[in-house]
Structure 1
């Protein structure tokens, strides 16, 4: 079998099964495990999948640019945002992450809501300018242009001083085995710090993020209080999280 044919087969099986186990597939195809692993490494370098121990998982399309991500799941994100907004109680201090779904969450806040929103996203902060009863605390630092959020030591220092009731986390990927992950090492650390200061962490999981993996883990699944998904999400995709005791809200 030619290299091109093997790679096409690997991508087809990944699409069909949602994962590749190198050892099992090598036995099935009569190929060496080293050959399968080499093909997976090359496909990963092209951004077509995510290498994990023993095989591969789908790569997240949420690793694209901010403008590209705005066009993904454009119908699902406002619904997820409205469900998240409904979780906020008057007087709470909440942290809204950066990203396209987080911007939709800011837009979904009721105009009469009285609360404090902490964010390191200038995009989220600007959306809240007209909310007369929402106090906005904007955390500064170096601008990470992929997600349009502040990062760096000054951001981490500020985050460590604020305890929040809920952290609405955006992420590139969510998978039952790989947990919550993103495509940037420093961004993973920032999100981990925010989650560590929150009583509850709620993940905003638009459809393209489910059953995918990105290079850097943010938090283990046990740290999630709830996940908000689109109402059309198949039961088999959310069943593993319910089995772990994580609340799943369909929007």
Structure 2
């Protein structure tokens, strides 16, 4: 089998099964595991897969730069944002993560809602200028890829706050890889923020379901639920439901 044909087959298996086991597919194709691993390295270099021990998982499309992400699945993000905004009660203290879905949460919030919002995203903070909410901005080194503060100073500041709710953005939601993102410092910052909230809800538009990035944020049992517009019969969502993960439907049709 030619390399191009193997690549197409591996991508098809990733889409169908949500993962590839190198040993299994090598036996199926009559190839060495080294050949399959080389193919997987090529897929990872192309941003199409994330290699893990023994194989690979589908790569998340949400690791693109910030400007590109603003045009990815805008309707899906608006649906997720509207459902997430409904979790914020008057008088609550809420931590908002950075990202384009969180910006959509701000758009969905009633402007006269009185609450306290803490964020490490200057973009999110700026979008709240016309809202009644009190806004606290966490500073630190600006991670330009996601337009958020990260690093030691930001984590130290995060450890001084306390909140009722954290709306967490991730780039991948996968039963095997968990809740993931594409940068280790950003993952550490998200963990710090999650540790300061009584409840954490994940914002997961459909394109993130069944995909993975390199760095784990928190395990599924550390979150109160996942807000998603993914289809109920999606294999990943069925697996998460069976594992006891709470899913909050953001699809207005359901």
* Shorter-chain TM-score tier: over 0.9
Paired position in structure 2 for 1:23: 23
Residues in 2 aligned to 1:109 and 1:227: alpha-carbon distance in whole angstroms: 19
Deviations 1:16-36 (A, max 9, x none): 322211111111111111211
Gapped regions of structure 1 (runs ≥ 5): none
Paired position in structure 1 for 2:64: 64
Paired position in structure 1 for 2:43: 43
Deviates more, 1:3-12 or 1:208-217: 3-12
Gapped regions of structure 2 (runs ≥ 5): none
Aligned residues: 250
Distance verdict in 2 for CA 1:231–1:240, change over 3 Å = closer
The secondary structure found in structure 1 opposite 2:78 is helix
Deviates more, 1:170-179 or 1:150-159: 150-159
TM-score of the superposed pair, with normalisation by structure 2: 0.94
Residues in 1 aligned to 2:42 and 2:210: alpha-carbon distance in whole angstroms: 21
Residues in 1 aligned to 2:52 and 2:68: alpha-carbon distance in whole angstroms: 25
TM-score of the superposed pair, with normalisation by structure 1: 0.95
Paired position in structure 2 for 1:151: 150
What's the C-alpha RMSD, in Å, of the aligned pairs? 1.3
Q: Does 1:196 align with 2:157?
A: no
Paired position in structure 2 for 1:164: 163
- 1:235 CA drift (Å): 4.3
**TM alignment of 1:174-189, pairs within 5 A:** 174-189=173-188
Paired position in structure 2 for 1:14: 14
The secondary structure found in structure 2 opposite 1:117 is strand
Q: Does 1:247 align with 2:246?
A: yes
Residues in 2 aligned to 1:8 and 1:68: alpha-carbon distance in whole angstroms: 26
Residues in 1 aligned to 2:60 and 2:48: alpha-carbon distance in whole angstroms: 9
Paired position in structure 2 for 1:93: 93
